[in-house]
Amino acid sequence: MCKLSKLTSVRYVRSVDKSLRAGRLATFAYFTLNGFLMGMWIVHIPGIEHRVGISHALLGWLLLLLGAGAFAGMQAAGPLTDRFGARTVVPLGAALCSAAVVLPGLATDAWTLGAALLALGVANGCLDVSMNAHAVQVEHRYRQPVMSAFHAAFSIGGVLASLAGTRTLGRHWSPVTTLGAAALVGLAVTVLAAPALLRPADTEGVMAEAGAPVVTGRRTTSRRVWGLATLALMIMLCEGVANDWSTLHLRDVLDAGPATAALAYGAFATAMTAGRLLADRVAARVGPAAVLRHGASLAALGLTAAALSPWIPLALLGWAVFGAGLSGCVPQLFSAAGHADQGAAGTNVSRVAGLGYLGMLAGPAVIGPLTHVLPLNLTFFLPVLCCVVAAAAAGIVRPARHVPIRLEAEAV
């Protein structure tokens, strides 16, 4: 009888481990898909702009609708994920995002393009928050940091989109054809990955057994979560600055040629992706607060070097160090928000992701007006200041003792 009980227990553990591995792979699939779909839209922006017949200035205003839609989708998806579960909302968000990515390719004027971008933003926001909430559940089950690797998968999805876009544009495919093919790929991934997502029963028992925090009654967003959201705004503001101004910095400040100037963003993005692939192991050794503190400090050092360098190679190295430093910061903030309350993980992640997304949009917008009173390279000391503040406040991500993640080696 005892042997039968032990055999049943072993089989159950193996079944749980198998479902956990499958859930982790499914999460990787959705993060990669999100990066791929948004990347496919990005590589087709010039073609769609030309087809619709709008100016760069008007396109800039229309892109704000994409941001507004994403913010609205994030705020809606958080409570929906808490109520119906990530297993339900993630595939729904992925399907909507896959379908919506075709819409910009179908636009014929500014009005239809604006509506298409608003819809794409809402769908992307829903997928973004729900998949991050599911990533928190996977991390709870693994009881060790795994969030950064998921964010690296998003970056890899963007690289795949760049390669696919380059190939299809070289063959003169129309945007609607390419985006339609991307939508079909997205729907296929959604259907194939959905069954592997964790069931609510798979996570609730583990969280309760480990003593993860549970809030009963009416929930309100805690000050700690708002603090995490504020830091996300600062860190993602820095990412936005790198995305939109790194290439212009080398071209306008250091007189680099177009090809050389493009290496600035390439150095930043490559270093960020590589850093995210390594950040989980580092967090397991030294703790999330140390990753945020030292990462933000390194980012501040890298951007300072890039801003003050009179030499192109040193500036490129500075942008790479900036990306490496930032790479592990946002995943720690998302993870801390999700672990703050198991019953409101989706809502808490939506708060952090929402403010963070606003920061990414605000970064480029703030730098532009500053260039009227300061040289471009000196405006970069605003994101440097944000990194310094994030490093000083890094203790906010330190997990409570009862959260089931092996981070006891927290560095001071």
Instruction: Examine the domain organization and report whether 204 and 234 are in the same domain.
Output: no
What pLDDT score was predicted for residue 221? 61
Instruction: Examine the domain organization and report whether 196 and 272 are in the same domain.
Output: no
Task: Read off the pLDDT band of 177 (50, 70, 90).
Answer: very high
Instruction: Examine the domain organization and report whether 79 and 178 are in the same domain.
Output: yes
Last residue of a domain, one of 156, 179, 210: 210
Instruction: Examine the domain organization and report whether 204 and 229 are in the same domain.
Output: no
What pLDDT score was predicted for residue 113? 92
Q: Is residue 7 part of a domain?
A: no
Q: Is residue 407 part of a domain?
A: no
Task: Read off the pLDDT band of 202 (50, 70, 90).
Answer: low
Tell me what the mean pLDDT of segment 51-64 comes to: 80
Q: Is residue 8 part of a domain?
A: no
- Is the model's pLDDT at 352 over the cut of 90? no
Instruction: Examine the domain organization and report whether 119 and 165 are in the same domain.
Output: yes
Q: Is residue 412 part of a domain?
A: no
Instruction: Examine the domain organization and report whether 70 and 177 are in the same domain.
Output: yes
Instruction: Examine the domain organization and report whether 124 and 236 are in the same domain.
Output: no
- Is the model's pLDDT at 5 over the cut of 90? no
Task: Read off the pLDDT band of 46 (50, 70, 90).
Answer: confident
Q: Is residue 316 part of a domain?
A: yes
Instruction: Examine the domain organization and report whether 227 and 188 are in the same domain.
Output: no
Rounded distance between C-alpha atoms, residue 42 and residue 162, angstroms: 9
Instruction: Examine the domain organization and report whether 240 and 328 are in the same domain.
Output: yes
Task: Give Cα 197 distance to the centre of its chain.
Answer: 19
Tell me what the mean pLDDT of segment 216-220 comes to: 50
Q: Is residue 2 part of a domain?
A: no
User: What CATH number has the domain bearing residue 68?
Assistant: 1.20.1250.20
- Is the model's pLDDT at 33 over the cut of 60? yes
Q: Is residue 410 part of a domain?
A: no
- Mean residue pLDDT of the chain comes to 83
Last residue of a domain, one of 178, 210, 242: 210
Last residue of a domain, one of 210, 231, 247: 210
Q: Is residue 32 part of a domain?
A: yes
Mean pLDDT check: name the lowest of 104-113, 188-197, 368-377. Answer: 368-377
* Backbone angles phi and psi of 371, in degrees to 5: -70, -10
- How many domains does the chain contain in total? 2
Q: What is the pLDDT of residues 284-314, one digit of tens each?
A: 888 889 999 999 999 999 999 999 999 999 9
Instruction: Examine the domain organization and report whether 188 and 265 are in the same domain.
Output: no
- 373 exposed, middle or buried (CB, 10 Å; 0-12, 13-18, 19+)? exposed
- Is the model's pLDDT at 103 over the cut of 70? yes
The parent domain of residue 341 ranges over: 223-397
Instruction: Examine the domain organization and report whether 321 and 175 are in the same domain.
Output: no
Instruction: Examine the domain organization and report whether 203 and 289 are in the same domain.
Output: no
